[in-house]
Amino acid sequence: MYAIVDIETTGGRPDNDRITEIAIIIHDGEKVVETFSSLINPECSIPYNITMLTGISNDMVRDAPKFYEVAKSIHELLHNKVFVAHNVRFDYGFVKAAFKDLGANYASQTLCTVRLSRKTFPGYPSYSLGKICAHLDIEIKNRHRALGDAEATAILFDKILKQNNHNIEGEWLASEQKLTSLPPLLDKTVFENIPERKTGVYYFHDQFGNVIYVGKGNDIKKRITQHFSLNIKGSRRSILLKAEIADISYEETGSELIALLLESDEIKKIKPTYNITQKRIKAVPFYGIYESVDKQGYINLQVSRIKEDEEPLNTSDTMEKAKELLYKQIAKFELCLSKCDLHKTGGPCFHWHIQKCKGACGQIESTEAYNQRATKAIESFSFQNESFFLVSKGRHEDEIAIVCIENGRYRGFGYLDTSFGQPSLDDMRSCIKKYPHNRDIQNILCGVVGKVKKVGYLSEATQRNDLSNY
């Protein structure tokens, strides 16, 4: 038995939006045996644009039953049925969320008529409900209303059953259930053509071609698969994203560093609907390590909130992480806790007593000797005011990826072919495509300083001769 479902909602997010209308048509595999339809009071205002699309207004639902008032009837209709819908993850996600709000756990097998249509009637340019119904001469009597769309979906489902001699049980149904890990609007050949074990940036597009999510991965296909493996019990946001994905594009970068930089820039430029963390130019980090010189001439290091008018040596999204990084430098370079703002009382610091500080806190150690170590510490985790290239592997073995840092600021990246020999610094400069510097980029680069090979920028004499390793 099949429950063919269509819903109308106040928006596209089950975590914030609510059902305004539901229709359920029970199909026994041969014919329709029962029909249910009802407006639902969403207990919130219906946006004007939704009313323009569906025709359902606040006045229409004011006296309609709330979901909990019809939940028992809906559950009885859906119980022990295969849940069928056009773009099933959307409808199923909302119905499951509505039951969850009541403390009930609804779960069912699902079938998507988008995917079933692709398999049964291949070759059409679009499989949206309106387009596929037009192609198959199915009349939709009341478009964008639950019952009208559900009745059209039921006719479509009936055609699918007849085309397959009513054989969607057994292997066919099991196969379709396995494939529902892919987004319903996505042609499986698009996914199959994504390369494996390639590093880069990927883009999810909706049915209109708009980029709705940008991500990166050391293995693009594996990372995309992780998105699709999130089931209905996972994040509601992931369910909605998955329901909208109609196409995937990608760009190989070779280097994980380039993937991080490109992903950050693309998110800020495109502002995809489902990306949140890096949309703002001035997003995290909120804390930085800053350098100053005290009255005695010693270099001091302090952790503080990000200052608008001063560039930090390094950055982090929490004070704890910034202090952890500073403590590592203190231990490695035998720095003084007092000169790092971590010993607040007078007299020698704790590290002096355990012989891990050479006495800058008591002016026993000279400023010159102390500042030499402090400068080395700064150089190990910061690139403020430095100019250099970061070199990593490219998209194939005869290519290197190059990131340009000039006066402590990110200038961009590029690629160079190494099959004809080691490139010069002029070659490196000429290949750089310019990108903007911002705090997210600063945070990314601070995280890799010391881990990625540096090559001199200002003069050929500083260039190393071991680029062949990259």
Residues 447/256, Cβ–Cβ less than 8 Å: no
What SS3 class is residue 368?
A: helix
Which DSSP state fits 251?
Answer: E
Domain range list for the chain: 2-179, 188-270, 287-371, 388-469
Which DSSP state fits 449?
Answer: B
In 49-179, the DSSP E strands lie at 82-85, 110-112
2-179: CATH topology: Nucleotidyltransferase; domain 5 (3.30.420)
The predicted structure's pLDDT at residue 454: 62
pLDDT in tens, 74-125: 999 999 999 999 988 889 889 988 998 888 878 788 888 888 898 889 988 8
DSSP symbols for 182-233? S-TTS-HHHHHTSPSS--EEEEEE-TTS-EEEEEEESSHHHHHHHHHH--TT
Rounded to whole angstroms, the Cα distance separating 324 from 247 reads 42
In DSSP terms, 300 is beta-bridged to 292
Residues 467/455, Cβ–Cβ less than 8 Å: yes
Sign of the C-alpha dihedral, residues 143, 149, 153, 155? negative
The predicted structure's pLDDT at residue 344: 81
The predicted structure's pLDDT at residue 148: 94
Residue 153 Cα to chain centre, angstroms: 32
The predicted structure's pLDDT at residue 232: 42
The predicted structure's pLDDT at residue 470: 35
The predicted structure's pLDDT at residue 11: 87
Rounded to whole angstroms, the Cα distance separating 411 from 470 reads 21
The predicted structure's pLDDT at residue 179: 53
Ranges of the chain whose pLDDT falls below 50:
230-233, 280-284, 458-470
CATH code reported for the domain at 188-270: 3.40.1440.10
Rounded to whole angstroms, the Cα distance separating 448 from 426 reads 24
The predicted structure's pLDDT at residue 196: 82
The predicted structure's pLDDT at residue 281: 44
